[in-house]
Structure 1
Amino acid sequence: MSQPQASIPTQPRAKQLRACLLCSIVQTPADFRKHGCPNCEEIMQMKGYPDRISVCTTTYFEGMIAMIDPEHSWVARWQRTAKYVRGMYAVRVRGRVPDDVEAELESRGIKYRPRDQTDMD
């Protein structure tokens, strides 16, 4: 059985890349529009909504990690991406999820941790 994965961005489109504010996966705006976020689409609801993509993703991120085997990677555990799909992830993401997403996470009993590493424990 193959593992789900996100599309891997190609080099010519690197300047257009965006990172999800919730899971930090890096994709092009077209990939977010076509497929949504492969990790948190149920909460973020970006698929087909360019306005939603612009508030739920950012171009302000640092570094990228190619996550090939998230379940067995110490880097994935350190980045809190071990339960996410294979793909490219930002090391740090600047920005916060919209208020409605934060409220949805709270209603599900999930503690929101910004991906900019200001909330390290």
Structure 2
Amino acid sequence: MAGGKRSEYMPSEDDRASSFAQIPTSFGHELRACLRCRLVKTYDQFRESGCENCPFLDMDKEHDNVVNCTTPNFTGIISVMDPTRSWAARWLRIGRFIPGCYTLAVSEELPEEYQALCADNNVHYVPPKRT
């Protein structure tokens, strides 16, 4: 949020209160996590409706974007109903995202071209910590 401006893709308080991310329809090997916000859904759900926190990634329009911007390799899942009031959501740095299911950690980085897309859209991206 450069210059104190709210990113156009950051949900407002009203939007967060009235919208939720899709809940995964299954909990098998078809789950994927968004590499930017760590939202967890099935591959088909990302393909059909994209990522609710990252609409600028156009996952619902481009099949390759789902493959490039999500990963099946993640650790743990947390369901968050009220991210603004959840200490766990704040600790995981997902307190500004909409309610939904999130992974605790991803180990892959968002590809550089999509990191540039985040910067172009004035959206903050934090790469995963290297262990």
TM superposition score category, shorter chain reference: 0.7 to 0.9
2:20 matched residue in structure 1: 5
Q: Deviations over 1:77-103 (max 9, x none)?
A: 111111111110000012111212211
Contact 1:23 1:40 in 2 (8 A): yes
What letter is aligned with 1:96?
E
How far residue 107 of structure 1 moved from its aligned partner, in angstroms, is 3.8
- Aligned residue in 1 for 2:4: none
Root mean square deviation, CA, Å: 2.0
Structure 2, unaligned runs of 5 or more: 1-13
Counterpart residue type for residue 100 of structure 2: G
Q: Distance in 2 between matches of 1:5 and 1:72?
A: 15
Identical residues among aligned pairs (%): 35
How far is the alpha carbon of 1:7 from its aligned partner?
A: 1.4
Kindly report which structure 2 residues correspond to 1:16-35, keeping only aligned pairs within 5 A, or say none.
Answer: 16-35=30-49
Residues 65 and 89 of structure 1 are in contact (CA less than 8 Å); yes or no, is this contact kept in structure 2? Answer: yes
Q: Which runs of 4+ in 1 moved over 2 A?
A: 104-112, 116-119
Shift, 1:118, TM fit: 3.4
Q: Which amino acid in structure 1 is aligned with residue 52 of structure 2?
A: P
Please name the residue that 2:104 is paired with. 91
Q: Report the Cα offset of residue 48 of structure 1.
A: 3.0
The letter of the residue matching 2:130 is T
The structure where helix makes up a greater share of residues is 1
SS in 1 for 2:21: coil
Q: Is it true that 1:46 corresponds to 2:49 in the alignment?
A: no
Contact 1:58/1:94, CA 8 A, preserved across alignment: no
Q: Which runs of 5+ in 1 are unaligned?
A: none
TM-score normalized by the length of structure 2: 0.78
Aligned to 1:58: 71
Asked if structure 1 preserves the Cα contact closer than 8 Å seen for 2:25 and 2:41, the reply is: no
1:28-48 Cα distance to aligned partner (Å, 9 max, x none): 111111110000112x11113
Distance (whole Å) between structure 1 residues aligned to residue 81 and residue 23 of structure 2: 11
